[in-house]
Structure 1
């Protein structure tokens, strides 16, 4: 039995649904609490998944449930907020967006455990989305917390894929303040969720909708886009957090009243602590800041069939400590903390923890002598025109070049970067460029 084989995804979904409905692992191990003898029920279960009867015995079924429990035990207690609002599932057909995304992650070298973590956290969020509103036209508002550079974008794409498969049809990603990074995020999501083969859904990227003389450009005219219940179209817009783009987006969303009523929106706020926070004095009757107000205009709108605002950040202090009124962006419905992947490298991995003692630092940290620090500092502050001592920097640059060469030799083609940070001022970085270029020139000019 190959536990990670996609043909068993349906059985994993069955286990999770039973757990969500109140059964425990002991009942599932022994197939207790069902209306049939356990051996008959197991065969019926296998039949629903188009698996042969000899695929499992009662013993191997117990092994399968045990593995599932071990794979998912660390995920419990990660969600704050118990509301499950829908009957969404994790699709198993190969043409589904989730299975396409899963396949693309495997091709990228993601480990099965990392993909399981993405599935668990993404599915947990999807279960807490509304697709019909809650009568009072309140949107869902949640927060997803992940470590810095720990793969939050992968989880966002997982959320989009599972939500798309389960009927949500408009996805908006609020992505920072730099347009080149916005375009990069859009291209990555589209690439991750699509394939050259068969696809059950059709993703359409909405690229900065604009109005001319009061009319929307034909390509993005909602009159020409099918958003009916059985439509296979899914819309994706990656929008900068600036006033003009958000206003154009809002105008486009509301450009067709009937189509707006068919929109089941998932509004993802990437780096939610950047620009999205209302920094005005909330103790006085002062309007919220512009970006915050425009995001609220989408998140709190009753013009759409459903709206879900999901904030992503590695630094949740501002989203959690900001105003908590019903119209704010406060994550009143749920908060989830993502697990770091097994290959994640952060401060704890690099520098270790004194408590507990079993988290030692890696042997990757090198101390720089006081003399070299003084020499570099004097150069960066203008006290000296040249940097007389940069031995450790030179060594680090050479090690980086050797590492790049080794990875390229092994056919690793992803971008590789070396970060050098010696000060908070731009002028300091400009001066440091001279030292780096001098070392590179010295390295490559040697015979």
Structure 2
């Protein structure tokens, strides 16, 4: 098997050729493109190939070509249906074609470069659906050029099925339309906020710590249009940095969109509200339109107090922020919309309307290769489920928070070994640049989970040490009980794959 770089470069070249084919691909198109490229690579010397591919390329073996055909077929056969839209009564009488019939035709700078960036990892049919879905959502926002508006909507998607990619596309199109102030409220912990900032740096902002990344590295990048981010991958919003970034230009003197990715935290939201209020002398912001994306909107955004009491802090702060703008749109994103749709739609107090999605709800479909709970538990023969006996002596299902745990159950150690084997398999399948993660959830008590985490670190350390020390030997399983255990797990769980 050749190194990942050469394989990925060649596959990327063939993918681009397939994307250039107009209309639906014929059943023979993938075979023909692979065959043509294979002939070129087998007949031309390496120095000529390096010029064709603009970098040094190694020859591929037959297993690479077989794998490439399978991956491209899988990629180009993935489809995704457009979502389903529900509109409120007032929304039905509004102009719901302002974007697709007018504004979209004028300038699509941010969207076009994000669409080009997505082509590296996302199948063409899925990109087309993201385009159609976000067009539908944009039509149900509002034209930012009108004098005054307030819109509330919700987008519902499956767990881990591309909601962030959808609102990244929506942000790009909103910026193209003229939305000036874009706020993303992303999770209640720093880790989640940082991840979302990193995603938007690549998909929309194009720069991280002064270095061009993601869309910022594309050929059509225009520095004069670079969005102004008041937050970074490592720093949430604070008034001091926001003043420093904006003091030279003034919010009203720049044509670039301003973006904030903030934690769903009372003090952070309060700081944003106070900073904007000070900048505009406690007056309504009339010149600029704001788009507020509330990610995981079922968490903490809902007012759980009684109607005759003050709203909960985060709910109040979000409504305060929306109330600063004469022109604002609130879009909630969630996979679990139950709490959102039960918000009292009649509430409209001194802080403005509550966050009920009165104007539209858009339900996203999942791509055809989506692997979620339905596929595991319902549409299945339970081949993805491994039933394990209850480890009563170490970690019984019913346990108290003061449980002492000094070692892991055998089944959890096996699961960890299988996870490591899976990473090895993915590397052999040229998927070494793909994300891998394992979730361990064996207790409802924090203290017990901390002990589990410590034991997992210890076990991983032992595996890592033995692999480093013994793996170059002809019979490493004879030298290490840990490697012997890995081999046994492989033979038990991975007997039907293509590798020894």
The TM-score normalised by the length of structure 2 is: 0.65
Partner of 2:230: 206
Distance across 2 between alignment mates of 1:178 and 1:144: 22
Distance across 2 between alignment mates of 1:216 and 1:419: 37
1:118 maps onto 2:130 in alignment: yes
Q: 1:133 to 1:443 in 2, by over 3 A?
A: same
Partner of 2:354: 328
Q: 1:153 to 1:385 in 2, by over 3 A?
A: closer
Distance across 2 between alignment mates of 1:171 and 1:378: 45
**CA-based RMSD:** 3.4
Partner of 1:139: helix, strand, or coil?
strand
1:241 maps onto 2:281 in alignment: no
Contact preservation (8 Å) 1:272, 1:312: yes
Shift of the alpha carbon at 1:127? 0.7
Shift of the alpha carbon at 1:341? 1.9
Superposed, 1:4-403 pairs within 5 Å as 5=20, 74-75=81-82, 77-81=84-88, 82=92, 83-89=94-100, 96-107=109-120, 109-132=121-144, 137-193=148-204, 194-196=215-217, 197-199=219-221, 201-207=225-231, 210-211=238-239, 217-221=243-247, 224-226=250-252, 231=255, 233-254=256-277, 255-256=279-280, 260-282=285-307, 284=308, 286-301=309-324, 303-304=325-326, 306-325=327-346, 326=348, 327-352=353-378, 359-361=379-381, 363-370=383-390, 372=391, 375-377=394-396, 381=400, 390-403=409-422
Distance across 1 between alignment mates of 2:125 and 2:450: 42
Shift of the alpha carbon at 1:380? 6.1
Superposed, 1:425-444 pairs within 5 Å as 425-433=445-453, 435-437=455-457, 439-440=459-460, 443-444=463-464
Shift of the alpha carbon at 1:152? 1.0
Partner of 2:336: helix, strand, or coil?
coil
Shift of the alpha carbon at 1:420? 1.4
Contact preservation (8 Å) 2:187, 2:296: yes
Residue deviations 1:202-256, cap 9 Å, x none? 21101255446xx97232238534557xx3x111111222232212212333313
Distance across 2 between alignment mates of 1:237 and 1:385: 42
1:419 maps onto 2:439 in alignment: yes
Distance across 1 between alignment mates of 2:294 and 2:128: 23
Residue deviations 1:175-202, cap 9 Å, x none? 1222232132122112112322323532
Contact preservation (8 Å) 1:174, 1:240: yes
Residue deviations 1:155-181, cap 9 Å, x none? 110100111112212110011222232
Contact preservation (8 Å) 2:188, 2:265: yes
Distance across 2 between alignment mates of 1:438 and 1:125: 48
Partner of 1:171: helix, strand, or coil?
strand
Distance across 2 between alignment mates of 1:209 and 1:433: 31
The TM-score normalised by the length of structure 1 is: 0.72
Contact preservation (8 Å) 2:83, 2:363: no
Distance across 2 between alignment mates of 1:385 and 1:251: 47
Residue deviations 1:90-119, cap 9 Å, x none? 858997111211121111x21122212221
Contact preservation (8 Å) 1:95, 1:199: no
Q: 1:7 to 1:300 in 2, by over 3 A?
A: farther
Contact preservation (8 Å) 1:146, 1:338: yes
Shift of the alpha carbon at 1:343? 2.4
Contact preservation (8 Å) 1:101, 1:161: yes
Distance across 2 between alignment mates of 1:211 and 1:414: 37
Contact preservation (8 Å) 1:273, 1:313: yes
Contact preservation (8 Å) 2:168, 2:200: yes
Distance across 1 between alignment mates of 2:155 and 2:294: 10
Partner of 2:198: helix, strand, or coil?
helix
Q: 1:438 to 1:253 in 2, by over 3 A?
A: closer
Partner of 2:344: helix, strand, or coil?
coil
Give the stretch that moved more between structures: 289-298 or 432-441: 432-441
Query: How many corresponding residue pairs?
Result: 365
